[in-house]
Chains A and B, each alone.
Chain A
Amino acid sequence: MKYALYTGCAAKGACPELYQSTMHVTKRLGIEVVEMLNASCCGAGVITEADPDLALAINARTFAQAEALGLNIMTICGTCQGVMGMANHRLKTEEGLLDRINLMLAPEGVKYNGRVEVKHLLWIIVGEIGVEALQRHVTRPLENLRIAPFYGCYILRPSKYLGFDDPENPVSLEKVISALSAHPVDYEGKTKCCGFPLVLEKELIAIGMVGANLKEAKDEGADALVTPCPLCHMNLDIYQERAGKKIGEKLALPIFHLPQLIGLAMGFTPKELGLPHHLVSTENVVEKIQLKV
């Protein structure tokens, strides 16, 4: 199994731990990856706000690069997946759109023919590798842990462009959590928004969302959260202390990137998985699975 790895900006910037853990986990799972070093940002839905055609064009360029490699794209960010999945769907299905966007790529000799698929690591694990195969790689079962899934928005909605999980009743993160022998925690917030897009300009709203979702997960007995989106990770981890202060609660809920949680169950050390990069300490969880930092 071979994929063109589209890391997105966060894994190369504020979330180096996502990149580190992805490399360890994909290797262990036997997924060969070719990193797309020339690829640009997907636009994160922000460039679309300014100019939808421009956002389509920079993504078409990325798709053309994977097409030239003869590979499909693996994303490791829920936001990238949503934005690129929607762009790809539109380019493939809307009449005349691909030709019009290709005109913008033509001066650089780039052309996208609409033959690439974009899939999140979570979908590849659940849909292609299979949770049974994942289970076979577990050397350190996370038996004592109650893990709350946090999907984030763009990996679920708008579902007509994505279509992996049922947006009303998603199960893929729960399947992974169970395969690692941990217990998935059910709570309403799992499909809600983390608030990240607002955090610079409307911090009170954004941390209100962080606080509400984390408190709910904690009240349901969660030891930690896992998310397939590094932007959710940033908001839930970096702003957790402020969110807790706002609602008068000590939250102290470690937030894991998807490959970090899988990596823990595969026996990688906290350092290999970049856990020391987190603002909210992961020590409690690491102790619970009896592992020295």
Chain B
Amino acid sequence: MRVTLHIQKFNPETDSKPHEEPYRLDIGRGTTVLEALMRLKNETDGTLTFRYACRSAICGSCAMEINGTEKLACMTQIRPELERHGEVRVGPLKNLPVIKDLVVGMQPFWEKVRSIRPWLDPLPHEQVDPIAMRNAYKAFNNVEACIMCGACVAACTVYEVSKGFAGPAALAKAWRFAADPREAAVAERLEGLQGDGGIWDCTRCNYCVEVCPKDVKPMEAIILLRRASIQSGLTQTMGSRHITSFVDIIRHEGRLNEGLMPMKVIGFRIKDFLRILPLGIKMFLKGKVPFPFKLKPAIPGIKQVRAIFEARSQEKRKKG
């Protein structure tokens, strides 16, 4: 079968901006994008530049954008792509600087990973809980499967607009060490992730979960870090207040009270209150702000909802 691959080319020494070039070649039933790129380089265009090593989804070097989505070229076959999108467009990962053609600079990526201290600060051997060690693998929630390909960072909708964000790969790695029963500095680790660029910058868009070729689910790791932070008493960030206030309101009223929620999240931060006040007034004038302090704010079935909350906390108490 003869197909055309539209490949983004960019040579910073000669080009002012990237452009797409069509490459035609014959492919077999299972030909992958990486195999096609290798053949094109050998047979058609020796300047075509891309990065690869293992060819079997282990090394993480060949992540790129295929038809708009971050994928490993070595595990993406061309025919299903054609069937799904009607074309095959190949470009470099987004959100990272392009060095040439399909190769991006991974420096910003590694800096973020390094910033979360990706090594153990070990407890003395005798203090490690042997039972927890046996279950540690499960606690990692599959983040140890990460091959550092950068697909999640390229797909991250927060990193796209805020380069200070640590990003999904680094934060998944942070969970791997925070969840390790041998780690001595769990509290310091969690504390270090509370500020700008940390765990509360994630918008939970699920893109990293969707594109990860190894099912690492970075967003779930971020949620685990958030939960661990709240459980360890780090409850003063607006991010953590968002969660605790939300749960509180649903327990009492069954439904979100959109008039009360912003006040509970912001608390006594005058600057932030003044920041949202003008919008609150505009919304009020448009009939968009429900009155926050109704006499009977709860839904008709609230008794059952509260009973479920109660049953759940009893269950938790039993488990200790």
Contacts and interface: CB of A to CB of B under 8 A. Distances in A.
Contacts of A242: 279
B301 A153 contact: no
B206 interface: yes
Contacts of A279: 282-283, 286, 288
B271 to A, nearest CB: 11
A58 B256 CA distance: 14
Contact of A238 (B160, B204, B250, B279): B279
Given A157-B205, A158-B209, A168-B68, A54 B309 contact: yes
A67 B247 CA distance: 25
A238 B161 CA distance: 19
A66 to B, nearest CB: 13
A51 interface: yes
B69 interface: yes
Nearest to B69: A168
Given A53-B312, A104-B315, A167 B210 contact: yes
B68 A188 contact: yes
Contact of B308 (A16, A58, A159, A195): A58
Contacts of B144: none
Interface stretch (B1-9, B52-60, B222-230): B222-230
A94 interface: no
A159 to B, nearest CB: 6
B242 interface: yes
A203 B250 contact: no
B301 to A, nearest CB: 3
Interface residues of B, number: 66
B307 interface: yes
B312 A201 contact: no
B200 interface: yes
B287 A9 contact: no
Contact of B289 (A14, A38, A39, A206): A14
A203 B196 CA distance: 12
Contact of A39 (B206, B244, B283, B301): B301
B307 A212 contact: no
B20 to A, nearest CB: 15
A110 B311 CA distance: 13
A239 B279 contact: yes
Given A209-B157, A277-B288, A41 B254 contact: yes
Interface in A167-202: 167-169, 188, 192-193, 195-198, 200-202
Interface string B221-263: 0010011001000000111011110110010001111110110
Given A40-B250, A200-B242, A205-B162, A61 B206 contact: no
A206 B203 contact: yes
Chain A CB within 10 A, most for which of B200, B239, B262, B300: B239
Given A41-B255, A46-B242, A212-B161, A104 B308 contact: yes
Contact of B307 (A16, A39, A50, A107): A107
Contacts of B241: 201
A276 B286 contact: yes
Given A14-B289, A61-B305, A208 B161 contact: yes
Interface in B179-229: 200-201, 203-207, 209-210, 223, 226-227
Contacts of B301: 38-40
Contacts of B303: 108
A104 B312 contact: yes
B205 A37 contact: no
Contact of B311 (A104, A193, A203, A238): A104
A16 B124 CA distance: 59
Contacts of B304: 38, 61, 108, 110
B286 A278 contact: yes
A34 to B, nearest CB: 14
Nearest to A211: B161
B265 A192 contact: no
Given A168-B67, A238-B283, A49 B254 contact: no
B256 A41 contact: yes
A252 interface: no
A38 B254 CA distance: 9
A149 B88 CA distance: 23
A239 B219 CA distance: 25
A88 B246 CA distance: 21
A179 B168 CA distance: 39
Chain A CB within 10 A, most for which of B85, B259, B307: B307
A46 B312 contact: no
Contacts of B266: 200
A218 B162 CA distance: 22
A243 to B, nearest CB: 11
A166 B310 CA distance: 39
B216 to A, nearest CB: 13
A103 B287 CA distance: 41
Contacts of A108: 303-304, 307-308
The 8 A-B pairs of least Cβ separation, nearest first, read A38-B301, A208-B161, A201-B238, A157-B206, A193-B205, A9-B256, A193-B157, A13-B258
Given A46-B242, A46-B246, A153-B204, 13 more contacts: A9-B255, A38-B300, A38-B301, A40-B250, A47-B247, A47-B250, A50-B227, A54-B247, A57-B308, A157-B210, A167-B210, A201-B200, A201-B242
6 contacts: A14-B289, A38-B300, A50-B227, A53-B315, A188-B68, A202-B239
